[in-house]
Structure 1
Amino acid sequence: MTNNLANRLRAKLHHSAESMGNLLVEVFHYLALFAIGAMTVWAGTLAAIDMFAKGAASIDDILLLFIYLELGAMVGIYFKTNHMPVRFLIYVAITALTRLMISDISHHNAPDMGVLYVSGAILLLAIAILVVRFASARFSGVTVIEKSQLEQIQAESHEGTER
């Protein structure tokens, strides 16, 4: 009798602690997403205001706006799906390297081996995008399972907490 009561109390405590932990994680998750999104909008707005104040926009400035756009899209996708789109991180890296290469060439006017290194890095990142896209199409992480299979998985994951 007392063993059964103790198991039920333990199961309730486990469920309550798990629910509270999930709530705290989700609150932090959404606060962080809103903060990152707001900072991206703020930085993009300041960059645009700076361009308007200068009266001109260089290719560096435009590429910087593309980086902010990609970061904003990444936050939006992560907010909607709870999945980090790795491809977008690679796109940001490619755009940043392109911006670096254009800036380096436009300010130094003499392409050197650095341009070749940055071009190689961009090529490697482009190949990485190909690999990621191929892998996500070929080995999709989303599988369709029947309701009976889902119930079986849920029952197995909580084995020993009920009774």
Structure 2
Amino acid sequence: MTPNKYSKILQKGLSIVEQVVLIVIGIATIFGVLQAILNIWDERTVHVGDLLLLFLYLEVMSMLSHYLTAGKLPVRYPLYIGIIALARFLVLDIKELDAMTMFALSGSILLIALAILVVRYGHVKFPYTDGTDLQSKTD
């Protein structure tokens, strides 16, 4: 099916919106990093939670960079961010958490890590093909 002029206009509009949102995410991430560094500087001490927060920002920037260069986003990046976010939550609130909540958070981290392994195995065992291979086999 060939796209008509309306779908091309819509596609162009969505592409522009996508680029604007990516710029906003980049600026917000840089602002967050600067804010976290200023907080560390003001307190004159570095906590594990601060480092994990900086790693979260680093993963977001890495995800953004990969998306801008490749045009697609591997599912692993949000999973990495999820692990770091859960670990940060666990580290920061360990005193207030009951045993069941700690067990659930730890189990969630384990499940996400297993999901990353499954995705990585799938990419190695069943690599992607571009659409031309499928098209030539069906013709």
Task: Give the TM-score normalised by the residue count of structure 2.
Answer: 0.85
CA distance in 2, matches of 1:34, 1:27: 11
Match for residue 114 of structure 2?
A: 127
Within-5 A mapping of 1:95-114: 95-105=84-94, 107-108=95-96, 112-114=99-101
| Equivalent position to 1:36, from 25, 43, 46 | 25
Larger radius of gyration: 1
Distance of 1:22 and 1:119 partners within structure 2: 42
Q: Which consecutive segments of 4 or more residues in structure 1 shift more than 4 A?
A: none
Structure 2: distance between partners of 1:97 and 1:78: 23
Instruction: Determine the structure 1 residue equivalent to 2:82.
Output: 93
Matched residue of 2:93: which SS? helix
Alignment partner, residue 16 of structure 1: 5
Closer, same or farther in 2 for the Cα pair 1:143/1:23, shift >3 Å? Answer: closer
Report sequence identity in percent: 29
**Could you report, residue by residue, the CA deviation over 1:100-129 in whole angstroms, capped at 9, with x for unpaired residues?**
111122x44x87232222111111110000
Q: Tell me the CA shift for residue 16 of structure 1.
A: 3.0
The size of the alignment, in residue pairs, is 136
Matched, 1:27 2:19: no
Alignment of 1:129-148 (within 5 A): 129-143=116-130, 145=132
5+ long unaligned stretches in structure 1: 1-10, 154-163
The DSSP-based 3-state class of the residue aligned with 1:83 is coil
Instruction: Select between 136-145 and 85-94 the one with higher mean Cα deviation.
Output: 136-145
State the 1:55 CA deviation: 0.5
RMSD: 2.5
Point out where structure 2 has 5 or more consecutive residues left out of the alignment.
none
Query: Structure 1, residues 3-40: CA drift from partner, whole Å, max 9, x if none?
Result: xxxxxxxx9xx643233222111111111111111111
What letter is aligned with 1:136? H
| Structure 1 residue 141 displacement after superposition | 2.2
Larger relative CO (CA 8 A, sep 6+): 1 or 2? 1
Residues 29-77 of structure 1: per-residue CA shift (max 9 Å, x gap): 1111111111111111111111111111100010000001001111111
Matches within 5 A, 1:12-91: 15-91=4-80
